[in-house]
Amino acid sequence: AQSVTQLGSHVSVSEGALVLLRCNYSSSVPPYLFWYVQYPNQGLQLLLKYTSAATLVKGINGFEAEFKKSETSFHLTKPSAHMSDAAEYFCAYSGAGSYQLTFGKGTKLSVIP
Amino acid sequence: DAGVIQSPRHEVTEMGQEVTLRCKPISGHDYLFWYRQTMMRGLELLIYFNNNVPIDDSGMPEDRFSAKMPNASFSTLKIQPSEPRDSAVYFCATRPGRGVAEAFFGQGTRLTVV
């Protein structure tokens, strides 16, 4: 069965510092991978997705993620954190040909002024 | 398109009462998912539909929970009777049948059972 692991339930960074949120997946089939962001009292919004094209994926708000098959990872990065990036971030997996999304537990990002 | 629309946004009810959560999917999306979000368990898939037909309800916690999709424009998630442990945020999400791989989420319904 597939699973998604997000390392660190809570990450704090200073404003202007690098953001790195980690995601690993386990699956025996090629994955589609996603990062979603959730602001307080809101639904989930797609940041970016990997669907077997380029391994480095750029998303909204300056975020990007790199798919590394050998490491079964899909870490999310942003060069310089902004206060507005404070939110909860979810990594999700879908097997190619499947229509379900499996989510990680989420990582809450705090940005310190 | 207005996106996935859920109602109500907030619901407070007493233990033992029936609760009905509603979802209007994005027009043309063939798949509809109901998720539950709690601090302890994160996001859990409860059930999903394809072309109005329930495909997998293995995530429904118990018989008190039921979901229907009578047509392509409407789905409900019902809890009867409700219990305090059902308190959570319930999300509806939809996606097209082909091409785009991601799901689009509604704003959620925050349910509190007292």
Asked if residue B39 has pLDDT above 80, the reply is yes
CB contact under 8 A, B95 and A99: yes
Average pLDDT across chain B, whole number: 94
pLDDT-based confidence at B100, cuts 50/70/90?
Answer: low
pLDDT of residue A36: 97
pLDDT of residue A60: 94
Average pLDDT over residues B19-27: 97
CB contact under 8 A, A105 and B33: no
pLDDT of residue B95: 92
Size of interface A-B (CB pairs under 8 A): 44
pLDDT of residue B62: 87
Q: Measured on CA atoms in the order B86, A103, A7, A26, is the torsion positive or negative?
A: positive
pLDDT tens for chain A, 113 residues long, are 678 999 999 999 999 999 999 999 988 777 899 999 999 889 999 999 998 778 899 999 999 999 998 999 999 999 999 999 999 999 999 887 777 888 999 999 999 99
Nearest-angstrom CA–CA distance, A56 and A77 = 11
- Find the closest chain A residue to B33 by CA distance: A100
Chain A residues in contact with B110 by the CB 8 A cut-off are 41
pLDDT of residue A53: 76
CB contact under 8 A, B56 and A100: yes
Nearest-CA distance A109 → chain B (Å): 16
CB contact under 8 A, A42 and B107: yes
Average pLDDT over residues B26-34: 94
Kindly give, in sequence order, each residue whose CB lies less than 8 Å from that of residue B113, ignoring residues fewer than 6 positions away.
B12, B13, B14, B15, B17, B19, B82, B83, B84, B85, B86, B87
Average pLDDT over residues B50-69: 94
Q: Which amino acid is at B64?
A: R
CB contact under 8 A, A43 and B4: yes
Nearest-angstrom CA–CA distance, B82 and B67 = 14
pLDDT-based confidence at B72, cuts 50/70/90?
Answer: very high
Average pLDDT over residues B16-21: 98
Higher per-residue pLDDT: A3 or B108:
B108
Chain A residues in contact with B102 by the CB 8 A cut-off are 34, 46, 49, 101
pLDDT of residue A27: 81
Asked if residue B111 has pLDDT above 80, the reply is yes
